[in-house]
Amino acid sequence: MSINILMPALSPTMTEGKLAKWHVKVGDAVKSGQVICEIETDKATMEVEAVDEGKVGQLVVAEGAEGVKVNAVIAILLEEGETAVPAGAAAPPPPPPPQQAAAPAPQPMPAATATLASPPPKPAAAAPQPAAASSGQRIFASPLAKRIAADKGINLASLKGSGPNGRIVKADVEGAKPGAAPAPAPAAAPTAAPTAPPPQPIFTAPGDKRVPHTAVRKVIARRMLESKQTVPHFYLTVDLEIDALLAARQAINDVARKMGAKVSVNDMVIKACAKALRDHPECNASWTEEEMIQYGAVDISVAVATDRGLITPIVRNADMKGVAQISIEMKDLAGRAKEGKLKLNEFQGGSFTISNLGMFGIQNFSAIINPPQAMILAVGVGEERVVARKGQMVIRNMMSCTLAVDHRVVDGAMGAQFLQTLRSYVEQPAAMLV
């Protein structure tokens, strides 16, 4: 007998959802407990596990299909010995017409859902996502707290539990704001590295202030510690000459002004990095224990400082967008980031991060990689420096950038070649138009 897999109700209020992603394909053997797909509701994205085991006979609902009703048949499992879906047997109701025809993605997309998926992270067996699934330690939360968190789209990992032994209970979740969970944030400064229990006792004196951790602070601490402890970083620094870039920016802004855009140096850097990543797909990648994931899309995370802490909104497909478009998007994202109004998918995922402290006059720094990404570019101030050109001292506008690289994914020479390409785009901006 074949087994119908139905669209699950992920919250009591859910009536329909989007089949965001299939983790299995026809012919795959599925074990009970294995993640088979991701379902996106209006509130959160969650992984769905198989209850039964068998072989995938048919994916009834296409990836990307929206408005799939709860309890509609989404796939059919074949039991051992069965070879095909019996013609009339399952008689699945025709799936609602997918509003977005899902192009079969040859490469997995960045795992936009990974870190904020509400249930405690589970090792995703067949999942090609490298993200939180593999990093998470068990989160203790009451069933009711989990239910409310899932419903409100709150990341349990970002909360401090007030129950027995730090268990997250209803009151903790009710106090949290939806979407308050920050994106994996890159460190803006090398000194930001937070630590686990301090090795040295902390001596306090009267007048010292104890500031409770915010949810965002805890996520930053956890993710950065995890990155520094588990990701083998190495660093490559280049000094880029940006006179041509500044001139191009001037010229672009003369035109872009009519669109209501004002392109910044950072917008140009986003574009240049995106182009360079497109040229070096091996750098636009993530490490997993099983395999390397090379992302099909170039999605650039950009570190934005807010009152609540760092957050990294994403400019998606930045290699395909014009700088004016990037600039408009970035302004919108940064504005809403500061108001805490970003949607989950606007800061989750991304394949590469840029952190720019130039506006503070920082000349050069090393940033901490934002897992599961493989690289982060720390951008310093653009300033006039005396440099040697053809035996002469001349003044040029220079900008130092330091690339932090996950050595598991990218070796030194590969990283250096990436920077070479980046230099070619920055120093000859016209190349970005080619």
Partner 1 sequence: MADTSFDLIVVGGGPGGYVAAIRAAQLGMKTAVVERENLGGICLNWGCIPTKALLRTSEIYGLIKHADAFGLSVKDVTYDPKKVVERSRKVAGQLSNGVKMLMRKNKITVFEGSAKLAGAGKLAVAMNDKTNQTLTYKHLILATGARARNLPGLEADGKLIWTYREAMVPPEFPKSLLVIGSGAIGIEFASFYRTLGAEVTVAEVVDRILPVEDEEVSAFAKRAFEKQGMKIFTGATVSNLKKGANNVTATITAGGKTQEVTVDRVISAVGIVGNVENLGLEGTKVKVDKTHIVIDQWSFTGEPNVYAIGDVAGPPWLAHKAMHEGVMVVEKIAGVKGVHPMKTENIPGCTYCQPQVASIGLTEAAAKAKGLQVKVGKFPFIGNGKAIALGEPEGFIKTIFDAKTGELLGAHMIGAEVTELIQGYSIAKTLETTEAELMATVFPHPTLSEMMHESVLAAYGRTLHI
233 is catalytic: no
Residues 159-198 that bind partner 1 (CB under 8 A): 162-165, 169-170
Closest separation in Å from C-beta 76 to partner 1: 25
Closest separation in Å from C-beta 170 to partner 1: 5
Q: Closer to partner 1 at the Cβ: 151 or 406?
A: 151
Q: Is 292 in the site for partner 1 (CB under 8 A)?
A: no
Q: Closer to partner 1 at the Cβ: 17 or 415?
A: 17
Q: Is 204 in the site for partner 1 (CB under 8 A)?
A: no
**Residue 399 near residue 410 (C-beta atoms within 8 A):** no
Residues with Cβ within 8 Å of residue 134, at least 6 apart in sequence: 123, 124, 288, 289
Helix (H) or strand (E) holding 21: strand 16-22
Q: Which stretch binds partner 1 (CB under 8 A): 90-98, 157-165, 182-190, 389-397?
A: 157-165
Rounded Cα gap, residues 268 and 185, in angstroms: 22
List the catalytic residue out of 213, 233, 280, 407.
Answer: 407
Rounded Cα gap, residues 393 and 8, in angstroms: 69
Closest separation in Å from C-beta 171 to partner 1: 9
Q: Closer to partner 1 at the Cβ: 178 or 309?
A: 178
Taking alpha carbons only, the member of 250, 277, 315 closest to residue 432 is: 277
Closest separation in Å from C-beta 148 to partner 1: 5
Per-residue CA distances from 246 to 78, 240, 243, 263, 268 (Å): 61, 12, 5, 10, 9
Closest separation in Å from C-beta 218 to partner 1: 18
Residues 68-127 that bind partner 1 (CB under 8 A): none
Q: Closer to partner 1 at the Cβ: 12 or 106?
A: 12
Q: Closer to partner 1 at the Cβ: 39 or 168?
A: 168
Closest separation in Å from C-beta 43 to partner 1: 12
- The sign of the torsion formed by the CA atoms of 171, 174, 179, 180 equals negative
First to last CA, the chain: 57
Structure tokens at 269: 């850097």
Q: Closer to partner 1 at the Cβ: 152 or 316?
A: 152
Sequence letter at residue 344: L
Residues 131-150 that bind partner 1 (CB under 8 A): 142-145, 147-148
Q: Is the peptide bond before 372 cis (omega within 30 degrees of 0)?
A: yes
Q: Which stretch binds partner 1 (CB under 8 A): 103-111, 156-164, 260-268, 347-355?
A: 156-164
Structure tokens at 264: 């910044």
Residues 11-30 that bind partner 1 (CB under 8 A): 12-13
- Please count the residues of the chain: 434
- How many binding residues for partner 1 (CB under 8 A)? 15
DSSP state of 240: E
Q: Is the peptide bond before 178 cis (omega within 30 degrees of 0)?
A: no
Q: Which residues bind partner 1 (CB under 8 A)?
A: 12-13, 142-145, 147-148, 151, 162-165, 169-170
Active site residues: 407
